[in-house]
Structure 1
């Protein structure tokens, strides 16, 4: 979880203009919400990853093996990725 007070200190929040502080507070609230929400990516037996937000992705063997290997956030909806490999789905 984002530590807003730590970020305020790091960015010199108290020394900034009020308009900057408003923008910062708004950005932090959006970031906290995005961090708490998840986009579940489920792998099919064909190696295709279907996202909860309606996209399908395929990773080549030279790159990532799971969506979270290539980045923490969904490139479509911006939510944090929770990946469910096919092996895990088989046993549900």
Structure 2
């Protein structure tokens, strides 16, 4: 196009990828914090011989996260799949904590 300045696509790509890399780093740090908190929950559950999973809480969390995802224009189905993946890992950790009482 004459008279318009098109930004360099490679520079745009690098800028966008840099942003994605920063978001990925933040997500990893947030997940680490989340797992530190769930580790404490697991230890408490193990100490008091509570079940590793809490299906009622998990259902409430799924509903809450689906709504948050919808509000953020993120696919609620994806949010639920992500949550289920994380919860499966948390339950595995809680079960290991209970087995190691």
Q: Which has the higher helix share?
A: 2
Max radius of gyration: which structure? Answer: 2
Q: How does the TM-score come out when normalised to structure 2?
A: 0.34
Query: Under a length normalisation based on structure 1, what TM-score does the superposition of the two structures give?
Result: 0.36
Answer 1 or 2: higher relative contact order, Cα 8 Å, separation at least 6. Answer: 2
